[in-house]
Amino acid sequence: MLTFNLNPDLSVPLYSQLYSAIRNALERGEITAGERLPSKRELASHLKISVVTVENAYSQLCAEGYIHSKPGSGFYAEKVQSRLSSENVTPPCIDDEPAGESYRYDFGTNRADTDFFPFSSWAKLSREVLSSQSEELLNSCSPFGTRELREQIAAYLKSFRGMNVHPNQIVVGAGSEYLTGLIIQLLGRETVYGIENPGYSKIQRIFDRNCGGIVPIPMDENGADISRVFSEADVFHITPSHHFPLGTVMPVSRRQEILGMVYSEKNKYIIEDDYDSEFRFSGRPVPTMQSMDTGGRVIYINTFTKTLAPSMRISYMVLPPQLVGEYRRKLGFYACTVPVFEQFTLAEFIRQGFFDRHISRMKKLYRRKRDAFLSIAENWKSADISGEDSGLHFLIHIKNGMGEQQLVKTAQEQGIRLHGLSEYYWADRNSAPDSHIVIGYSGMTENEIKEGAELAGKVWHL
Amino acid sequence: MLTFNLNPDLSVPLYSQLYSAIRNALERGEITAGERLPSKRELASHLKISVVTVENAYSQLCAEGYIHSKPGSGFYAEKVQSRLSSENVTPPCIDDEPAGESYRYDFGTNRADTDFFPFSSWAKLSREVLSSQSEELLNSCSPFGTRELREQIAAYLKSFRGMNVHPNQIVVGAGSEYLTGLIIQLLGRETVYGIENPGYSKIQRIFDRNCGGIVPIPMDENGADISRVFSEADVFHITPSHHFPLGTVMPVSRRQEILGMVYSEKNKYIIEDDYDSEFRFSGRPVPTMQSMDTGGRVIYINTFTKTLAPSMRISYMVLPPQLVGEYRRKLGFYACTVPVFEQFTLAEFIRQGFFDRHISRMKKLYRRKRDAFLSIAENWKSADISGEDSGLHFLIHIKNGMGEQQLVKTAQEQGIRLHGLSEYYWADRNSAPDSHIVIGYSGMTENEIKEGAELAGKVWHL
């Protein structure tokens, strides 16, 4: 008869101890396949435990397939291989991701200033949303996002961007990267995409991983020059409001030309990425292509990650009315990826005017930061600045005879991080104009920016 | 000279009125391409407005490409086509999504009981997290998720599922659907996936949209029978803890057999979807395949959507240590899709024991609901119930001579919604055994369940 040491003083229940003991005996081959186990009553009296305890252990072993019962006959062992018991194995050791280097002056472009985030307003609204304890907060919302948030986004787009958008055209999702993935699924995975070159490297990588092919769109002084690759791609991802990293704003004639080309063929589309249009420092915001599009060929995409905080993964896209039905049919089964709590909080944040006020404050803050750099750079003799009217970065052409690599390296040696323009060319890198540096200033204080700029001016002998 | 009616009493600034007036004149062809505009000074004195106002209007028109300046010569009109001004267009009207039908008794399987969600604990923790106002809350976290949440998940998996997992193996994401998309990108988009048939229809649709091909895995009394399609697919998505909708628990011998097969070839993997393993009503939880996997071939995936609330889009996967490096290289550029606020709140929710207690309460609640149905069904003469030991659904084989369609339809006529088993076959639908009904009971109260079950028994003459 099977004999095991069971200890009623342990925190592990007796049935569970018995289960483990029998399982181990099976795995060690002490009980062999086909062998009949003692009846529940026999084993209980042998081990001086209750029949219920044995019953629980046996039924767990049955559930996991270690033994099976034959009605009227008893319990029989299954064939099992021995295995490492995971319970006493130490977890694998996996190194942390290597941390990025840290610089005294970081003119990298990927940072945001979060000091001005209106924490107390956000916290107050969150509290109000949570204290409503409404059932709506717990159940899943429409795959497009909550009605409340989509209405607020539509109202915001109307007053801020002059766009006439129905809330049913809007899809809310956890970041532009995620929404881009949905667009690829919507338009078909064999579709070929034109991507701006130079451009934001993540965009290129997302398309490269997921679509039928990518084609670089060359840039000129009017922005993306789609005419040169029009026949090679089906859909064009562009940033007409403010190109990254060149800073180009696409003039209306180019926008009209592109729409005209797209209308001339079936099934060609534009993805208009309006990612930092909120931060235009002079005049009114430039109108979107979405608002010029009478043919239903522009998918507009924007994010709250840049305007609120990088930790907040809320983006949205505006589908042309013509694609809404197809989206519902093809992708309507995907649940919305943004927590409903956050959507309600953000909707109130916009509705009560906090978002507008936050953008105005950030615009002033970022303009001061930009001006801090410019106040130093205006004394530089051989440097041309461009693209400084909007967005959170601009371009400097340094004409001191140094090449891009040398500019970046000499700055780096002094603790200044900055990127050369050629780093943003994902194709045809040699075509990048030499000696151009991309300056992002959003992540530093005004003083740090001035110090960093002064130091760069010294290093580069400007 | 250009003459416009500008009104200083309007809320629209004068420069903006002038900008619109000139733009309209260009679009209507009243100013033609190449025409020289009046100088700023001339126009200002003609319209009796300040030079700065004209300057602002001109520079906005330049930025948008309606006009351009020639240094020393003045401003010239660009060629533009007329366009509909979007500002006065009414937004397109798009119908709402058609709402699903509503039933008096809904035994659909896709609902959750949110009445027991511990709102006040969650709200309290959220408040604490927000009031820390830590900078960490605003900056983006690791692409894998916050360290805090991954540590809590690892600790939970150790104590609840006996799994030894390093936090660096865990990837947090906005829902299992999203994570499944990442797995497809990780393993390559040409990879062919085996998907359980019958199974959860969303899973099949996600793979179908995104991967190189799908192959149905037939099911037998031991769960997924991979041996029959092993050569046709590279990766197998299975639910060994509790199959949906059959309710099968895969015995250990089958698990070992599958691991053995997968180890015998390079680059074959298992995706173990453990989606409702928390709700096992008798005995201990069945061990996971992940914990039996010594070869690094099991990707484990689970979600908090089922255990907390459908509105909360937090899921996670556990990569085999062997795939962590590749994941970082290939997909490490994707930002984590779950807001950092939510991740901190959930980490505290687990750490302080709220999650454990919530699961225990829900398990009791769901068991009572299940028992409510069973208390009625035990009096039915010609009905076999299976798969009722875990998860939030079970299967009934009704042997009253009615076919599946007739069972569903007669119930529907009385306001009872339930699904026939064949609805979950996405391939080879005719192979579904007839007269099987899937019962989900999570979304109704005990009384409703009893009433619904009684009514069904009457309708079906049981």
Report pLDDT digits (tens) over B426-446: 999 989 999 999 999 888 899
- Expressed in percent and rounded to 5, the helix, strand and coil fractions of chain A are 40, 15, 45
Mean pLDDT for chain A? 89
Report the DSSP beta bridge partners of residue B439.
B394
Q: What percent of chain B has pLDDT over 70?
A: 97
Q: Does B129 score more than 70 pLDDT?
A: yes
Shortest CA gap B343–chain A (Å): 10
Residue in B94, B284, B311 closest to A139 by CB: B311
Query: Which of A165-179, A274-288, B399-413 is least confident?
Result: A274-288
Tokens matching residue B398: 């009704």
Check: CB of residue A368 under 8 Å from CB of residue A450. Answer: no
Cα–Cα distance for residue pair A332/A343, rounded to 1 Å = 19
* Average pLDDT for B385-411: 92
User: What are the phi and psi torsion angles at B106 (to 5°)?
Assistant: -110, 100
The pLDDT value given to residue A296: 94
Tokens matching residue B380: 């039915």
Complex ipTM: 0.84
Q: Does A370 score more than 90 pLDDT?
A: yes
Tokens matching residue A196: 């701006």
C-alpha angle B214/B215/B217, rounded to 5°? 135
Cβ–Cβ below 8 Å for B114 and A123: no
Cα–Cα distance for residue pair B423/B404, rounded to 1 Å = 10
For residue B444, which of B32, B110, B80, B87 has the smallest C-alpha distance?
Answer: B110
Residue in B87, B177, B342 closest to A334 by CB: B177
| Residue A86 binned pLDDT confidence (cut-offs 50, 70, 90) | very low
| Residue B87 binned pLDDT confidence (cut-offs 50, 70, 90) | very low
Q: Does B33 score more than 50 pLDDT?
A: yes
Cα–Cα distance for residue pair A308/B402, rounded to 1 Å = 59
C-alpha angle B127/B129/B135, rounded to 5°? 130
Q: Does B408 score more than 50 pLDDT?
A: yes
Q: Does B167 score more than 50 pLDDT?
A: yes
The pLDDT value given to residue A82: 66
Q: Does B182 score more than 80 pLDDT?
A: yes
Q: Which residue from A minimizes the CA distance to B311? A: A140
The pLDDT value given to residue B452: 95
The pLDDT value given to residue B59: 86
Q: Pick the more confident residue, B223 or A305.
A: B223
Q: Which residue from A minimizes the CA distance to B324? A: A94
C-alpha angle B257/B258/B262, rounded to 5°? 120
Intra-chain end-to-end CA distance of chain A, in Å:
92
B-contacting residues in A 402-461 (Cβ below 8 Å) = none
The pLDDT value given to residue B32: 85
Cβ–Cβ below 8 Å for A185 and B210: yes
A-contacting residues in B 338-397 (Cβ below 8 Å) = 338-342, 389
Report the DSSP beta bridge partners of residue B193.
B214, B235
Shortest CA gap B178–chain A (Å): 8
Identify all chain B residues contacting A164, using CB atoms and an 8 Å cutoff.
86, 89-92
For the stretch A371-411, pLDDT in tens is 999 999 999 988 999 988 877 889 999 999 999 999 999 99
Cα–Cα distance for residue pair A273/A301, rounded to 1 Å = 5
Q: Does A181 score more than 60 pLDDT?
A: yes
Q: Which residues contact A134 (CB under 8 A, 6 or more apart)?
A: none
Check: CB of residue B312 under 8 Å from CB of residue B117. Answer: no
Spell out the SS3 assignment of A74-91.
Answer: EEEECCCCCCCCHHHCCC
Q: Which residues contact B430 (CB under 8 A, 6 or more apart)?
A: none
For residue B120, which of B426, B358, B280 has the smallest C-alpha distance?
Answer: B358
The CA–CA distances, whole Å, from A425 to A419, A428, B348 equal: 12, 7, 43
What is the helix (H) or strand (E) element at residue B126, kind and residue range? helix B119-131
DSSP B101: P
The pLDDT value given to residue B86: 42
Cα–Cα distance for residue pair B286/B282, rounded to 1 Å = 10
Q: What percent of chain B has pLDDT over 90?
A: 55
Residue in A91, A282, A294 closest to B166 by CB: A91
Q: Pick the more confident residue, A62 or A174.
A: A174
Check: CB of residue A87 under 8 Å from CB of residue B162. Answer: yes
Considering the entire predicted model, what is its pTM?
Answer: 0.86
Domains of chain A: 14-80 (1.10.10.10), 105-114+357-459 (3.90.1150.10), 119-352 (3.40.640.10)
Cβ–Cβ below 8 Å for B284 and A16: yes
C-beta atoms surrounding A416 within 10 Å: 20
User: What are the phi and psi torsion angles at A393 (to 5°)?
Assistant: -155, 160
Cα–Cα distance for residue pair A97/A75, rounded to 1 Å = 50
Q: Please spell the DSSP secondary structure of B54-74, one letter per residue.
A: HHHHHHHHHHTTSEEEETTTE
Residue B329, chain A, CB below 8 Å: the answer is no
The pLDDT value given to residue B283: 67
Residue B92, chain A, CB below 8 Å: the answer is yes
CA B148 to chain centre: 23
Q: Pick the more confident residue, A89 or A266.
A: A266
Cβ–Cβ below 8 Å for A119 and B127: no
For the stretch A253-282, pLDDT in tens is 999 999 999 999 989 999 999 987 888 877
How many residues does the structure list for chain A?
462
Q: What percent of chain A has pLDDT over 70?
A: 97
Cα–Cα distance for residue pair B309/B119, rounded to 1 Å = 11
Beta strands in B261-392 (DSSP E): 269-273, 298-303, 315-318, 383-386
| Residue B110 binned pLDDT confidence (cut-offs 50, 70, 90) | low
Shortest CA gap B458–chain A (Å): 32
Local structure of A196: helix, strand or coil: strand
Cβ–Cβ below 8 Å for B321 and A154: no
Report the DSSP beta bridge partners of residue B185.
none
Q: Please spell the DSSP secondary structure of B206-224, one letter per residue.
A: HHHHHSSEEEEEEEETTEE
Cα–Cα distance for residue pair A234/A194, rounded to 1 Å = 7
Cα–Cα distance for residue pair B388/A58, rounded to 1 Å = 18
C-alpha angle B115/B117/B121, rounded to 5°? 140
The pLDDT value given to residue B318: 98
Residue in A135, A168, A321 closest to B114 by CB: A135
Residue A7, chain B, CB below 8 Å: the answer is no
The pLDDT value given to residue A110: 67
Cβ–Cβ below 8 Å for A189 and B209: yes
Q: Which residue from B minimizes the CA distance to A201? A: B333
Burial of B29 (0-12, 13-18, 19+ CB in 10 A): exposed
Residue A84, chain B, CB below 8 Å: the answer is yes
Q: Does A230 score more than 50 pLDDT?
A: yes
Residue A252, chain B, CB below 8 Å: the answer is yes
Cβ–Cβ below 8 Å for A342 and B337: no
Amino acid at B254: R
| Residue A85 binned pLDDT confidence (cut-offs 50, 70, 90) | very low
Q: Which residues contact A220 (CB under 8 A, 6 or more apart)?
A: none
Cα–Cα distance for residue pair A190/A343, rounded to 1 Å = 33
Q: Which residues contact A67 (CB under 8 A, 6 or more apart)?
A: A22, A26, A37, A58, A61, A75, A76, A77, A78
Calculate the dihedral angle through the C-alpha atoms of B358, B361, B365, B368, rounding to the nearest 10 degrees: 150
Q: Does B228 score more than 80 pLDDT?
A: yes
Cβ–Cβ below 8 Å for B321 and A175: no
Tokens matching residue B67: 């006009």
* Average pLDDT for B337-348: 94
Tokens matching residue A22: 């029998």
**Tokens 């009394």, residue located:** B221
Residue A329, chain B, CB below 8 Å: the answer is no
Residue in B63, B93, B175 closest to A389 by CB: B63
Q: Does A218 score more than 90 pLDDT?
A: yes
Q: Does A88 score more than 50 pLDDT?
A: no
Residue B116, chain A, CB below 8 Å: the answer is no
Cβ–Cβ below 8 Å for B138 and A114: yes
User: What are the phi and psi torsion angles at A19 (to 5°)?
Assistant: -55, -50
Shortest CA gap A455–chain B (Å): 28
User: What are the phi and psi torsion angles at B209 (to 5°)?
Assistant: -70, -25
Tokens matching residue A306: 């840049």
